[in-house]
Structure 1
Amino acid sequence: MPHLLERIKKTLEDLDTDASAELELELVEHIRKSMDPQKHLTLEYVRYMRNKWAGHASMDRRFDTWVQANDSLSIPAVEAALVRIMNA
């Protein structure tokens, strides 16, 4: 999603700037902020678990207790993140 938003922003900036393009750029920025993992714990959780389960050697499930990552996956947190992404 971040790459798509960047591409849309670049395309809009390359167009002649008029009132509608400015509104569209503002909308792109609003969507980008609504998708920022630093501001939304569920998105941070999904990113964290993705990195953990992608096999990063620095992350050992047995010793990692942040958001109970050593125990189980929080399906409600993943669902909440998906709802945020779909709404964006």
Structure 2
Amino acid sequence: MHSLALAQTGAADAAWAKTQTLAALRSAVEALDDARASLAVLTADTDWHSDGVRAMQHSLEDLRRGARIEASEIRSRESEVERIDVS
């Protein structure tokens, strides 16, 4: 009976860890999505023909693209964690 209690506790710990990990991953994706939306607005707002502003626009677009890639990677990790069987 004692080993069963330990096994159940281990499963509960694993389930809790999975839940916490998914929450953190979802928060990260949400933050990246918010950043991407803000960067898209900034990119559109700086769509001028000045060289300096154009360079800034390209930098903002690069940041937005990087945030999209990171969000995609985190979504992949989220899917992996969701598939973990903790029972």
**TM-score in terms of structure 1 length:** 0.44
**TM-score in terms of structure 2 length:** 0.45
Instruction: Select the structure of larger CA radius of gyration.
Output: 2
